[in-house]
Amino acid sequence: MKRCTLLVALVLLLVSCTSPAPTPTPQATYTPLPTYTPYPTFTPASVATSAFAARPMSTATPRTASSSQATLSAASCIAWKDAAAHMNETTCVRGTVSSAMQNGTTFFINFDNTRTSFYGVSFKYTFDNLKGKCVEISGKISPYNGRPQIVIDKQEQLQECK
């Protein structure tokens, strides 16, 4: 009987050694969430005819205008103090910049420290080193909250005075 029990135990041991190992239970794998990749934004091409090089919402450095622009703009510009009398006209406004600043996505060019005088505004460009410089802004003078303004959509709308 002892031999029989020993023989059965030996057979069971041999059978268990020859059986294949159990298949491992699959574990959940960690997959990180995809990261956000922003879409490319439109960057307008730089135009060489502007007095000031402009880049979208970054600082720009001044350049001089071509001679044909200088002769045309000097004769056709009005003083910034007279801009309110030319509301809804397309013209050129000339003056010395008292302040230039960016507020969020808007760049302001002021010719006076009051909140009622003419100003230039750009939603596309910023310009560097304008304070104290004589500039000419061309475009349609439109009212905004009763204040005359020209919206600068193209960088060639802003020229340095000659």
**Mean local confidence (pLDDT), 137-151:** 95
pLDDT(157) > 60:
yes
Q: CB of 110 within 8 A of CB of 139? A: no
- Domain membership flag for residue 31: no
- In which residue are the tokens 């020229």 written? 159
HSE of 82, CA atoms in CB hemisphere, 13 A:
9
- Domain membership flag for residue 27: no
Range of the domain at 153: 55-160
pLDDT(73) > 60:
no
User: What percentage of the chain's residues is helix, strand, coil (to nearest 5)?
Assistant: 25, 30, 45
- In terms of pTM, does the model score above 0.85? no
pLDDT(61) > 90:
no
CATH number at residue 112: 2.40.50
Distance CA 47, CA 45 (A): 6
How many domains does the chain fold into?
A: 1
* pLDDT tens per residue, range 2-51: 787 877 877 777 776 666 667 777 777 666 676 666 766 655 554 444 55
**Mean local confidence (pLDDT), 49-76:** 50
- Domain membership flag for residue 155: yes
Q: Which amino acid is at 10?
A: L
What band does 56 get if pLDDT is binned at 50, 70 and 90? low
Nearest to 125 by CA among 142, 150, 107: 107
pLDDT(81) > 80:
yes
Distances (CA, A) of 32 to 36, 62, 132, 144: 12, 48, 54, 49
Average pLDDT, the chain: 79
- Domain membership flag for residue 92: yes
pLDDT(58) > 60:
no
- Domain membership flag for residue 3: no
- Domain membership flag for residue 94: yes
**Mean local confidence (pLDDT), 138-158:** 94
Structure tokens at 15: 């059978």
- Domain membership flag for residue 9: no
- Domain membership flag for residue 28: no
Nearest to 93 by CA among 112, 115, 107: 112
pLDDT at residue number 93: 96
